[in-house]
Amino acid sequence: MPSSNSTVRPFSIPTAKRARFASLGRLVLGCFALMLVNGARADELPSTGAIVLENPSVRLEFVPKIGRVMFFGFRDGENFLWVNNQEDLIYEYNLGGWRNYGGEKIWPGPQALWAFAQGRGWPPDPDLDGSGVESVKRLSERSITVTFPVSKIWGVQLSRTFELDEQQPLVHLRNTLTRRHGMPVPLQIWSVAQLPHPDSTWLESLTPVPTGGPYLNLNRAADKPPFTPPPLPEGSVTVHGQWTTVSAIPEQRMKVGTLGGAIAAVTPAGIFLQKVAFDKTGAYPEASSVQVLLNNRYVEIETLSPLVLLDVDESYSFDITWALLPPTGAATPDEIETVLNTAVERLGVEAK
């Protein structure tokens, strides 16, 4: 696949009972909305209606109803992606209006701009996350293109092509945003994959971040001067050659980013590697092109395109390659670094 380039009859209720009826009504309506919002029921398993792509080495499942990849793993192996449980899914929806299914999805811009584009900082745009796709086109036994509805908020339409290698545990993803309505807000293709906690996460560091080191502390800043983020837990981040390694299961949220073109989760079942083309001249609003977010339930490995500003009917594509590597067992950090360097070189997506 080519590399990256330049959507009743009235009745009376006694006053004393009205409040109780109102509360009951809100509860019933809330449950009904939870089950039916955006056309997908919250009490359905996320894998319902999945499209399966397989080759002799790997298996991928995409669920059109919710617009997410919900399974990725070796053909006869376990899922490398984290999938939420039903109880927490409902709780999180009631808490913040977002159904956190797990899996992998695309968001269309840096979160700092969401409030300006959406009029709110959270939850994500439902047309691009949770409402499902508009169409699915089967290109081959190993490839599909899915197209999402036009985003009424961002004025863009997302399409994604998934293509499995003929034999190897590789998937090539082309993610394309097309501007359908004018809006003076820049875009960024942001892939977020949720995983169970790995042994460690490795982020490629090809160039120093603005603070001068190989990685950036992306923890949320304090709400009073000097607005600095809380420090990363001691010993949770180390540097091995051109890789920054994060190995922690924090009690609270923590996030790290680097300027590079690869990120990998090292697990007992194998290594999940994502590779993109890092643009040394591109604008990355969070001063990082690969990121890992950790909380006490899962991690998110994230790849981010540079910012782009599109005219109406103009498109931008950002390619990602997913690769699964065999388990490394009791390998040392130096041995894991060698494995990752070899794999990244083999994938052949060079920095610009």
Residue pLDDT, tens place only, 50-77: 999 999 999 999 999 999 999 999 999 9
Amino acid at 249: I
How far, in Å, CA of 97 to CA of 90, rounded?
Answer: 10
**181 within 8 A of 155, measured Cβ to Cβ:** yes
- Is the pLDDT assigned to residue 19 strictly greater than 80? no
State the CB neighbour count (10 A cutoff) for residue 257. Answer: 25
Domain boundaries, the chain: 106-347
How far, in Å, CA of 119 to CA of 112, rounded?
Answer: 12
- Is the pLDDT assigned to residue 4 strictly greater than 90? no
- At a CB cut-off of 8 Å and minimum separation 6, what does 309 contact? 184, 186, 187
Note the helical H segments in the chain.
15-36, 86-96, 114-118, 333-347
Residue pLDDT, tens place only, 111-146: 999 999 999 999 999 999 988 999 999 999 999 999
Task: Residue 352: name the closest of 289, 309, 310 by CA.
Answer: 289
104 forms beta bridges with 69, 193
Residue pLDDT, tens place only, 284-324: 999 999 999 999 999 999 999 999 999 999 999 999 999 99
**The predicted structure's pLDDT at residue 3:** 43
How far, in Å, CA of 326 to CA of 202, rounded?
Answer: 16
Kindly report the CATH number that applies to the domain delimited by 106-347.
Answer: 2.70.98
Q: What is the pTM of this model?
A: 0.87
Q: Which two tokens stand for residue 131?
A: 């409402």
Task: Residue 110: name the closest of 307, 311, 301 by CA.
Answer: 307
> What distances in angstroms separate CA 172 from CA 60, 75, 136, 350, one per listed residue?
11, 16, 17, 15
**The predicted structure's pLDDT at residue 277:** 95
